[in-house]
């Protein structure tokens, strides 16, 4: 089999990005963590194995064996964890699917992309550095922005802030759609159909 042996191999990586620890658990920057946690819950498993600087498990999802991971490196070093897992399982970048927050999208808007720049997102910057390419699919979850004049400090406070109750309600529904989009990408082997359905 192309991607290692059947019993333990993974054919895809699905990485939800975020920051570890209770302090960050429900913040805007943890949309990726919250989405893959919901996926694991739906499948009745826990992401409780520890390797690749991550909490992870291997799930059957989208017709494939998928390493679902939450890097524990903190957001800005996410690529260390994802790169290590990709090398271990010999998974090419086009089968590394990443779910993360995006401040340039309105709250609850999804955007599926087959590739692209980091767009100022440090987690994605780290992934591009460690995978050596920006040619990997992603599902972005809009968290809105704080508005006002651009200021680095405001932006950091915003992404590590907790969404309002109204935003949380919207985001909870979006996690389910993000999972559906991820399943479509993995099942189809490319992003086109998911882009048509979910963008």
Q: What is the pLDDT of residue 8?
A: 62
User: In the chain, what percentage of residues exceed pLDDT 90?
Assistant: 84
Average confidence (pLDDT) over 161-165: 90
Does the pLDDT at position 96 exceed 90? yes
Average confidence (pLDDT) over 2-28: 82
Q: What is the pLDDT of residue 91?
A: 96
Q: What is the pLDDT of residue 156?
A: 79
- Residues whose CB falls within 8 Å of the CB of residue 160, separated by 6 or more in sequence, listed in order: 19, 24, 27, 28, 29
Which amino acids are annotated catalytic? 29
Query: Residue 148 — very low, low, confident or very high, per pLDDT cuts 50/70/90?
Result: low
> Residues, the chain, total?
199
């Amino acid at each position: 089999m192309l991607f290692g042996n059947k019993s333990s191999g993974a054919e895809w990586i699905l990485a939800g990005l975020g920051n570890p620890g209770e302090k960050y658990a429900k913040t805007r920057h943890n949309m990726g963590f919250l989405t893959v946690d919901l996926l694991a819950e739906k499948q009745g498993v826990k992401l409780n194995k520890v390797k690749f600087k991550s909490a992870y498990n291997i799930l059957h999802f989208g017709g494939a064996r998928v390493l679902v991971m939450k890097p524990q490196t903190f957001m800005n070093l996410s690529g260390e964890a994802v790169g290590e897992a990709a090398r271990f399982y010999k998974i090419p970048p086009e089968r590394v699917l990443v779910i993360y927050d995006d401040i340039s999208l309105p709250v609850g808007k999804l955007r599926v992309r087959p590739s692209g720049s980091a767009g100022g997102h440090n987690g994605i910057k780290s992934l591009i550095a460690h995978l050596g390419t920006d040619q990997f699919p992603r599902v972005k979850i809009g968290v809105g922005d704080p508005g006002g004049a651009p200021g680095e400090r405001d932006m950091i406070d915003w992404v590590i802030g907790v969404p309002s109750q109204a935003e949380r309600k919207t985001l909870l529904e979006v996690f389910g759609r993000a999972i559906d989009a991820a399943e479509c990408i993995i099942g189809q082997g490319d992003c086109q159909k998911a882009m048509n359905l979910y963008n």
